[in-house]
Amino acid sequence: MEKIKDINDALENLDSDSAVQAILQSIHPAEVPEGERSTLPPIIDITDFLDQRLPKPPELIHGILHKGSKMVLSGSSKSRKTWSLTHLAMCVAAGKEWWGFETTRGKVLYVNFEIAAWSYQKRVEWIKEKMELTTGDLKGWMKVWNLRGKAADIADLVEQIIEQTKDKFDLIILDPIYKVLGDRDENSNSDVALMMNEIDRIVEEAGPAIIFGHHFSKGNQAHKDAMDRMSGAGAFARDADSLLVMTKHELPDTYTVEAILRNHKPVAPFCVTLDDPILERWDGADPSKVKGRRGAEKKYPIAKLMQVLAKQEILRADLERQFCKDTGACEGSFDTRFKEAIALGYIVKGADGKKIKAADGYPGIAIVPKEDGNNQNSATVQE
């Protein structure tokens, strides 16, 4: 092919229409097809970011959940999760208190993937009667989408969910989440993360808060840290903005609820108990009396942890490695014993503020647990 010397030489070898197109192409390059454009937000300077007025979204569950956030309610099998989520849906729809937390009245969609429609209808009726609500109290505020037998991979459902719900609801409850795993492995962090990305799409494009129920793994979970009790990959817990974990209490029909919150102040553990057909908050029960924990306390006692601290100041990570090596405990057992020791005032900061040590007088002298959060010597240690 003959080498082209300049633009004039090129134009001489083109017909007039082609020449015009060539010139226009050089001035206005062809647009990138719609599907290939970047959908990411722009990078902005920190000063511009701080100058932005970013309104805080309303709290649907005060102290627990904002609109546009994600929450997981987790518990063992048959721990009344669906009852509790339905109760929550009706509380938000009616603007009623739920488990001691005020709610902001909002429009709710309950997506039922598991319970037969006739059975779920009876549950709603029983809860409505218990709450002394009328159908008129909920009309226009709560809708139900019965999809038992229609559950599929969330990626196949997300477009339809967004189309049906965009700007129509403040809260959407997906119950249970395992029904939309599809062929994904719930033990794979990458698979679960991909599923959670699809749920993020619903939040971002349709605008609601999303809550879903998830189950514990099998066996006694009491000795594990609350975040580690859920079945499957850790991404279930880490992805959520709010996590409420229901663990069986020593008392019958009672559960200890622990809250792990990203965007709110810490909430102390509390108990709920059966007031048929719903669970109601019961402040008269001791939330530390979790069923099955005593065996774990005997196997991995705080004293084992304190034996290491009594000898030296140490970093938290080093303490964890030594404790697990000495006892054979898992990370969750260490976290539980460590938090209990801090709550009792047994662990304090070292001289450098980074390492930790046993409080003065331990072991050998009984230590009085701290009574408030104003003790400057109490340890709040982070990794």
Contact 265, 259 (CB under 8 A): no
Q: Is residue 160 very low, low, confident or very high in pLDDT (cuts 50, 70, 90)?
A: confident
Tokens at 327, concatenated: 């006892």
Instruction: Say yes or no to pLDDT of 207 above 80.
Output: yes
pLDDT in tens, 250-270: 888 999 999 889 899 988 899
Instruction: Say yes or no to pLDDT of 371 above 60.
Output: no
DSSP3 helix / strand / coil % (the chain, rounded to 5): 35, 20, 45
Residue in 261, 250, 164 with CA at minimum distance from that of residue 205:
164
Instruction: Say yes or no to pLDDT of 375 above 80.
Output: no
Amino acid identity, position 124: V
Which residues make up the CATH 3.40.50.300 domain(s) of the chain?
A: 59-281
Instruction: Say yes or no to pLDDT of 16 above 70.
Output: no
Cis peptide before 277 (omega within 30 of 0): yes
Q: Is 372 exposed, middle or buried (0-12, 13-18, 19+ CB in 10 A)?
A: exposed
- 195 versus 373: which is more confidently predicted? 195
SS3 (DSSP) at 270:
strand
Q: Mean pLDDT of all residues in the chain?
A: 78
pLDDT of residue 288: 84
Residue in 58, 84, 95 with CA at minimum distance from that of residue 211:
84
Q: Is residue 295 very low, low, confident or very high in pLDDT (cuts 50, 70, 90)?
A: low
**CATH for 300-358?**
1.10.10.10
Instruction: Tell me how crowded residue 106 is: count the other CB atoms within 10 A of its CB.
Output: 18
pLDDT of residue 250: 87
pLDDT in tens, 111-155: 998 899 999 999 999 999 999 999 999 999 999 999 888 877 788
Tokens at 344, concatenated: 């009792």
- 166 versus 346: which is more confidently predicted? 166
Q: What is the rounded distance in angstroms from the CA atom of residue 121 to the CA atom of residue 144?
A: 10
- 140 versus 298: which is more confidently predicted? 140
Contact 272, 227 (CB under 8 A): no
Instruction: Say yes or no to pLDDT of 220 above 60.
Output: no
pLDDT of residue 238: 74
pTM of the predicted protein model? 0.66
Mean pLDDT of 197-223: 77
pLDDT of residue 49: 92
Contact 161, 204 (CB under 8 A): no
Name the E strands within 76-133.
108-112
Q: Is residue 368 very low, low, confident or very high in pLDDT (cuts 50, 70, 90)?
A: very low
DSSP lists the bridge partners of residue 244 as 73, 259
pLDDT of residue 323: 80
Q: What is the rounded distance in angstroms from the CA atom of residue 107 to the CA atom of residue 116?
A: 23
Q: Give the range among 103-107, 173-177, 373-377 with minimum mean pLDDT.
A: 373-377
pLDDT of residue 299: 57
pLDDT of residue 188: 77
Q: What is the rounded distance in angstroms from the CA atom of residue 129 to the CA atom of residue 139?
A: 15
Mention every residue, 6+ apart, whose C-beta is less than 8 A from residue 296: 220, 222, 223, 333, 336
pLDDT of residue 4: 47
Q: Is residue 181 very low, low, confident or very high in pLDDT (cuts 50, 70, 90)?
A: confident
pLDDT of residue 195: 81
Q: Is residue 1 very low, low, confident or very high in pLDDT (cuts 50, 70, 90)?
A: very low
Q: What is the rounded distance in angstroms from the CA atom of residue 86 to the CA atom of residue 112?
A: 10
Mean pLDDT of 77-88: 90
Q: What is the rounded distance in angstroms from the CA atom of residue 303 to the CA atom of residue 290?
A: 20
Degrees to nearest 5, angle at CA 71 with 169 and 236: 130
Contact 65, 56 (CB under 8 A): no
Cis peptide before 363 (omega within 30 of 0): yes
Instruction: Say yes or no to pLDDT of 7 above 70.
Output: no
Q: Is residue 225 very low, low, confident or very high in pLDDT (cuts 50, 70, 90)?
A: low
Residue in 242, 323, 224, 325 with CA at minimum distance from that of residue 63:
242
**CATH for 59-281?**
3.40.50.300
Mean pLDDT of 85-90: 97
Q: Is residue 370 very low, low, confident or very high in pLDDT (cuts 50, 70, 90)?
A: very low
Tokens at 217, concatenated: 């793994």
Instruction: Say yes or no to pLDDT of 14 above 60.
Output: no
